[in-house]
Each structure stands twice: as C-alpha cells, then as structure tokens.
Structure 1
Amino acid sequence: MRDLKDQQKSRSFVFHLVKHSTSAYRIRTRERRGPDRPIGGPEVMKEQLEHLVSMTDERLSVQVIPNGMHSGLMGGFVIATLETGRDVLYAETAVRGITTDDLEDVAVALERFDAIRSEALPINMSIDLIKKAVAEKWT
C-alpha cells in the first residue's frame, strides 16, 4: 500500500494543472525525466502518457521541463481563477498544502509559473518527446 501511495505522490509532483484567468489550462511535467520515470509499470506509464497527449487542445497544453535545476523544483502549486476573477493559490509544502488568496503570495506564484514556462520546451516539442518516450520506452 505504501508503494502505491509513493507512486501517486511521485506522479502528482510530475504534473501540474494551472488555470489562468483566460480560462486556458496548462499541464506541465516538472522535469524531463517525467516521461521516462517508471511509476506504476510500463502499461500504466504508456496509458498515462497517451492519455495526457490525447487531452491536449486549444485550452490544454503540455510542456516538458528539461532535466536539471529549474524553478519548479521548489514545490508544486496550482493557481485557480474564481468566477469573481480573483486568483487563489494552492501550494504544496513538506507538511501540508496551503490555500491562499493573498495578493503577494499569488503574485510570487505567477512569477514562478512564468519562470517555469520560460524554461520548458515548446508545446510541439514536448508532445513529440512524450510520444517518443511512449514508443521507445513504454511500448
């Protein structure tokens, strides 16, 4: 049971869902190893990565962050825009998740998100990389 929970935690650190005020959703891999890291076995990896690619459209994009040091290593977070237009931040910590609408905290997270996005591969290259990982490693 612990192994499954560890796998779920690892997978949750690999992908992030972020909603912008423009109603565009983005999912990101935390690092380049994401499509290559075996979590749940080959069948599970193949299915998850194929599903991720199939979900992409004009509102949902996937970008892979190359290996090495990057802004996403400080911990996972989600920024959601409420119907009122106000942004809310959910940030993961070593102890628990924190939800806040503090303007300074949200602004820092938005800056970090932009930094992560600037370090990520373009969308088409990311999709190609994921498809290549499925074909070469998980098929």
Structure 2
Amino acid sequence: MPTRKPNSGRRPSARRMLAEELTRLRESAGKSLAELAEETTYDRTYLHKLETGVRVGSPEVIAALDKVYGTGDRLSMLWELAREDAFPDKYKRFMELEAKSTVLYKYSAHTIPGLLQTEAYAHEQLRTARPRDEHVLDEQVAARLGRQEIVWRDEPPDFRGVLDESVLRRELRNPQDWQDQLAHLLEMAERVYVTLQVLPFSAGLQHLLGGSLTILWQPDGRSVAYLESSAHGELLEDPGEVERLRLSYDRLRDAALPPHESIALIQRMMKGGTPCTPPDPN
C-alpha cells in the first residue's frame, strides 16, 4: 500500500487540482493515454504533461476533454482558475487588483495594452519574447486573452488609455492581422467606458516614455500603480508614489491628441497610414 504524504495544511493550487482531476477521469474511464490521444487528436506526451501539471493546457484541449469525459464544462471552469498559474507570482497580485478595479488608467509606450489585444497580436508578441513550443505559447495567449474578461463584464472599469504613436507604427508582420488589431481598437473605443488617446511624436520627450504605466482605482477609493518594462514589473501601493505617477499620466494625457483625433488617426492608418498631425495650437 502506498504511503500517504502528510497533509501540509496548504490548499492545492487550481493547476494541481486540474491535473489530478484529469488523471482521475482518465483512470475512471479505463483509458490509456494512447487511447485518449487518439480520441482527442492531441499528442499523448502533451496530455501526460496536463495530468502532471507541467502544462495547464489551452481552452481547446480542455473543451475536447470535457467532451470525451462527458463533464459538461466542469473542466473548462477549473481551467479558468488554473490558467492564472501561467503568470508569475509577482504579477498575480496586480491581476487581483485589476479584476476588482473601477477605474483603469493605462499608458503604453511600446505595445498594444494586453486588455485590447487581438489573439493574433498577443500570439506574435509572446512568440517573439523568447523561444517556446506551440503548446506553451497557446497557454500564454489564452491566459492573456482571459484577462480581457474584465472589459466585457456587465460593469467594466472605466478604461482610459494613452498609446504612444510608436505603438501604432510597429505593425504586425501579417497585414490582415494588423488591420484586425486596428479595427479592434476602434471597436473598443466605441464603448462608453473606453477612452483612447494617441501621444504623437510631435509631443516631444515625456516622462514614462521608457515603459508602461497602469493605475488602478479600487472599490474602496484607494489606488495602486504598476510600472512595467520588457524585463521588469513593479507594483506600487504607497499613496505618495501613486500620486506622483498619476500626475505624470495626467501630463501625458494632456499632451496626447484628443479622443476624436486619435480615432481619426487610427482610421487613416487603416487606409494606408499617414503621419500623425500635431494638434493645431489655434
């Protein structure tokens, strides 16, 4: 008889719970990994990694397993919890605050904000970050897109985004994917809770140009800030530091094109791209 490991008192992670449930379901059904691979068309090695928790999977493979086991959407619901494990621990605190936010300010210096990315954009950005196999990449993309639930919920946060002009000048390699991304920005900007502005090159040097900034207002009225570069992210909760960054954001927003001119710029870019015209001082 195998010896049970002593209970450490710690609750297992959702990722571990998903892995154990997948193993239990397969063994209860009397299936081998080879048989399961044939039924789902997914590689047996990949399925084994799901059962051991090495991989968390994509929504497609989890939906296929729900179908094979006749579990409705139970595995998919568990995957929704487990996918958060795809993010570093230091980022999960930010995600918790982001999910509860009532107002969200965002300045993006280099890329489209994750909450506004299409699947193709997220896929290309994550693929270029570092080499990874397709299964891992699919998991990362699914996890990022899953965060977008907060802008589609019944009472989403008031989203106010400022995009540096360079964000709109760095196109995707596939022209149609880039057109789809620009169209998605325009679609989101039509929502009453989303305001988008473009910071033109003509605005000159500004604070925060080296990275991206997110400021989140919580239901209790307090605010937190998240500073991010390509290699580092820092969550700031000190009221003085957050206020300093809020003022920096306000200055960026003041220097940006008004919302209607920003939308017009994106529309022109979809038709072939034109230089960003500085606002008329008169």
Structure-1-length-normalised TM-score: 0.76
* Cα pair 2:228 2:234 within 8 Å, conserved: yes
Q: Which runs of 4+ in 1 moved over 6 A?
A: none
Larger RCO of the pair (alpha carbons < 8 Å, separation 6+): 1
Partner in structure 2 of residue 109 of structure 1: 245
Counterpart selection for 2:197 from 60, 63, 85: 63
Please list, as runs of the form range in 1=range in 2, the aligned pairs for 1:126-137 lying within 5 A after superposition: 126-137=262-273
Q: Alignment partner for residue 91 of structure 1, among 215, 227, 233?
A: 227
Which whole-Å deviations, capped at 9, do the CAs of 1:34-76 have from their partners, x for residues lacking one?
3232234312211111101101122101111111422340321
The yes-or-no answer on 1:25 pairing with 2:122 is no
Aligned residue in 2 for 1:120:
256
Distance, in Å, in 2 between the alignment partners of 1:95 and 1:130 is: 29
**Which residue of 2 is the match for residue 3 of structure 1?**
none
Structure 1 residue 78 displacement after superposition: 0.5
Amino acid at match of 1:47: D
Checking the alignment, whether the CA contact within 8 Å between 2:197 and 2:258 is kept in structure 1 is yes
**Aligned partner of residue 63 in structure 1, secondary structure:** strand
Match of 1:5 in 2: none
**Which stretch shifts more, 51-60 or 32-41?**
32-41
Compute the RMSD of aligned alpha carbons: 2.1
Q: Secondary structure at the match of 1:106?
A: helix
**Could you tell me which residue of structure 1 aligns to residue 111 of structure 2?**
14
Aligned residue pairs total 121
Q: Please say if residues 79 and 89 of structure 1, whose CA atoms lie closer than 8 Å, have aligned partners that are also in contact.
A: yes
Q: Measure, in 1, the Cα distance between the counterparts of 2:211 and 2:168.
A: 19
Partner of 2:44: none
Structure 2 residues not aligned, in runs of 5+: 1-107, 116-156, 274-282
State percent identity of aligned pairs: 27
State the TM-score, normalizing by the size of structure 2: 0.40
Cα drift, residue 101 of structure 1: 1.0
Any conservation in 1 of the 2:179–2:270 contact (CA below 8 Å)?
yes
Matching of residues 65-84 of structure 1 within 5 Å:
65-67=199-201, 68-84=204-220
Structure 1: 5+ residue stretches without partners? 1-10, 18-22
Match of 1:8?
none
User: Helix, strand or coil: the match of 2:199?
Assistant: coil
Aligned mates of 2:238, 2:174 — CA distance in 1:
40
